[in-house]
Structure 1
């Protein structure tokens, strides 16, 4: 099975009634941006996550290890173990992502029960000499949840002793994580990081995953139009300010079938009387699962595109793309429109199914161009003012030539090539071009002897009369 995430196409977005109902909450100018943001989401199915988790655990096969599913505790819980060192029981209600992780761990234990332990107590860890403590999670945006879990592990004296003496090491398995979350976890560790320590704290923990990215590298997740997406998130005032870019302003784009992370943009999951979320209460709707699996029929876009009004700007953009110009800046320069205007028009073309996400024509786009070829206004380049560089002469080459070899007179330039046609003998011609009338450079100007009295200071030959004395 491939680990490639799934994503929505423009035809699926436009053909879904539930998505259209969610899009109706946006202003008309922001709907194309919302569609592009929705198509940029990566959906991870339960089978994909389970396959990745099992393959990651196989890398540690053959050595004893203890598995712990990371979860968030309330403020009253300060340690994951009780006074006797036994792991506290999980609550009866659903724990979101931890439920799927727990089911994967249970299936994995059936084949590796002799080396793998599920949430063991401290005494079991010490007696069986387990050195690997594996923490399982699905997504690390800010790192607060994993850091809080490790802090509650360290709050027990026995486990802190094992950690300080290097008896245990922590392996963090998370499908998606940010580099900032790693820094957050490392900063929360107990112990010195000095290189002279036998076991520096940062050498006793490692991170593993499938997706790793820098938080402010928005173009990697949302494409080159990420600024419009950020503006959209900040513009929706019906979403709480601290939820508009997701928890910790991570603005992630990974969504799991079993759990919707809170670090994706708030317009997707924030629910209030004034805003209807696409993922209410951070749950994955069943209709979206069927839509991604292709089980729901969608309204197909018509290839003839008769319902699309022939707008000259849209036709100019499609024509530029057809000629191979696909960058927004190049298209804006080519058709003479502002880049922001071109960006919004290209979003409109994508939402109508005429352009792909990589700025290439679809079949509907090619048909649309053919049907409106009489209305196209392709920009033409003006070549009348173009002057080849080889025609341009330098200033030094247009100055009067040297003395005529026979007459010894200065030869002037004229249309007939005669030395004396436009003026007296030895005088230059009055018929000049703009380049010829420019003053000559210093390299061809004659030097006139100075009539000023000699200077009292030294010249390069020494003071006057120094050679006689």
Structure 2
């Protein structure tokens, strides 16, 4: 993306001393393609619906005014079987994409999966669960407001109190803060995610690098048309972009509309992805360079390179031990490093716990430290590179790293 014409123009706006930090900000983005998003959301809906003994109401999450009762003020029309999937005249971004997924699934199994049903249809079909579906939960406000709009119906409250229905919030990704806000709602929805959302404050970087990235977003964000959102809405600093759009929780320098004075040109104009950038979105989320991230976690100048040996745990397992060994314990950092989904991260954590490598509070055990040390053992980049400034260096052996 940095090598596209728009990417080069975007980078050219930074002072020379800030260009490398700007490139780091770009390279840390998790890019989600149309296909990856649609596959994940479809699979989540189908898998969760199979757990329900009855029909399921599917709704695309959208912005709602305070105090709105979704069913009382719905625009479905007299005798309508379904509510409008999106607000009429609304900006059709993620809502329309999610609504299309719902519509296609409902066509295949209309008795089980209900496309934005009215209360009458839910009653007729004996609905047993309500799914609210979104691409991304950042601050959690939009999903919380939408759930509240459904909850204001006295019929919904009654059905829930009788344990006839429950709620499930489905999203491709969510921040820890946003997910917690959704789960605190009065109907206590269950949260289902494809992957945890990476944010710049939770990146597996040492504090110095994090401070540089935040300073960059703050200083140059002042040049955008969204000065109050320099660090993104609610200061989330999300590091995730969908091919269908950039969340407003990402730093403003990435997406804020070009101001009248044209002091800043965003990479994703008004949160949209230009055709020139579409090829940068991979079919699947890939793992990061674990060894390179370990260098970013260590004190500046202490090590130039880290090379990891093969391990029975695999690259993902060693990445987990390495992150925990450096005090990084957020699941979003693990997902960012490995490219794993939320389910895969949970399985990996369980596997390492069962093997005795990590404790219940996500700390390395003696066995975990030994396994990590073995993965780093004999690495010439770690143990054999002389201190900087030595005039002479004579290698003790020839050949590449062991185990490779």
TM-score by length of 1: 0.55
CA contact (8 A) 1:79 1:156 kept: yes
Instruction: Count the aligned residue pairs.
Output: 289
Provide the C-alpha distance between the structure 2 equivalents of 1:175 and 1:216, rounded to a whole number of angstroms.
18
**1:258-293, Cα deviation, whole Å (9 max, x unpaired):** 122111111000122321111111111111013557
Q: Does 1:278 align with 2:288?
A: no
* Residue of structure 1 in register with 2:390 after alignment: 380
Provide the C-alpha distance between the structure 2 equivalents of 1:223 and 1:48, rounded to a whole number of angstroms.
32
**1:50-77, Cα deviation, whole Å (9 max, x unpaired):** 10011112213444111000001345x7
CA contact (8 A) 2:206 2:296 kept: no
CA contact (8 A) 1:22 1:278 kept: yes
CA contact (8 A) 1:179 1:215 kept: no
Give the counterpart of 2:59 among 62, 65, 68: 68
* Residue of structure 2 in register with 1:146 after alignment: 143
Which aligned pairs between 1:89-104 and structure 2 lie closer than 5 A? 89=84, 90-104=87-101
Provide the C-alpha distance between the structure 2 equivalents of 1:216 and 1:34, rounded to a whole number of angstroms.
12
Give the counterpart of 2:152 among 151, 155, 168: 155
Provide the C-alpha distance between the structure 2 equivalents of 1:328 and 1:68, rounded to a whole number of angstroms.
42
Give the counterpart of 1:228 among 212, 215, 218: 212
1:214–1:277 Cα change, 3 Å: closer
Which aligned pairs between 1:19-418 and structure 2 lie closer than 5 A? 19-62=7-50, 63-74=54-65, 78-82=68-72, 88-89=83-84, 90-189=87-186, 201-202=187-188, 205-212=189-196, 218-220=202-204, 225-236=209-220, 237-239=222-224, 240-271=226-257, 272=259, 273-292=262-281, 326=295, 332=301, 379-380=389-390
CA RMSD of aligned residues (A): 3.4
Structure 1: where are the runs of 5+ without partners?
Answer: 1-7, 190-200, 295-320, 336-356, 358-376, 383-469
TM-aligned CA deviation for residue 166 of structure 1? 2.2
CA contact (8 A) 2:83 2:118 kept: no
* Residue of structure 1 in register with 2:368 after alignment: none
Provide the C-alpha distance between the structure 2 equivalents of 1:21 and 1:263, rounded to a whole number of angstroms.
23
1:243–1:381 Cα change, 3 Å: same
**1:360-394, Cα deviation, whole Å (9 max, x unpaired):** xxxxxxxxxxxxxxxxx951299xxxxxxxxxxxx
1:180–1:290 Cα change, 3 Å: closer
TM-aligned CA deviation for residue 133 of structure 1? 0.4
- 2:16 aligned counterpart, secondary structure: coil
Which aligned pairs between 1:413-452 and structure 2 lie closer than 5 A? none
CA contact (8 A) 1:40 1:221 kept: no
Greater relative contact order (Cα < 8 A, sep 6+): 2
CA contact (8 A) 1:67 1:119 kept: yes
| Runs of 4+ displaced beyond 4 Å | 83-88, 213-217, 220-224, 291-294, 325-331
- 1:263 aligned counterpart, secondary structure: coil
TM-score by length of 2: 0.64
1:261–1:216 Cα change, 3 Å: closer
CA contact (8 A) 2:33 2:282 kept: no
- 1:35 aligned counterpart, secondary structure: helix
TM-aligned CA deviation for residue 326 of structure 1? 4.6
